[in-house]
Amino acid sequence: MDCAGLGALVEVRNQADQRGGRLILRGVGRSVARVAVLLRLTGLNPRLTIEP
């Protein structure tokens, strides 16, 4: 995932938040560790939830 992908996730998460919903990332498979590291490095991990 690159900066554009992270930006898209943040935008969708913000839209869900405005509508009273939430964004949960599911089924990211083997890339879950990489995505989790990116979220942690960018400080987004508290704002996005990852589930198997």
The amino acid at residue 10 is V
* pLDDT value for 25: 86
What per-residue confidence (pLDDT) applies to 16? Answer: 93
Taking only the tens place, the pLDDT of each residue in 1-47 is 788 888 898 899 999 999 999 888 888 777 777 888 888 898 888 88
Give the predicted TM-score (pTM) of the model. Answer: 0.71
State the pLDDT confidence band at 49, using cuts at 50, 70 and 90: confident
Give the domain range for residue 36.
Answer: 3-51
The number of C-alpha atoms within 13 Å of 50 and in the hemisphere containing its C-beta is: 18
Q: How far apart are CA 6 and CA 4, in angstroms?
A: 5
> Exposed (0-12), middle (13-18) or buried (19+): which is 6, by Cβ within 10 Å?
middle
The count of structural domains within the chain is: 1
Q: Which two tokens stand for residue 30?
A: 């083997």
> How many other C-beta atoms are found inside a 10 Å radius of the C-beta of residue 22?
11
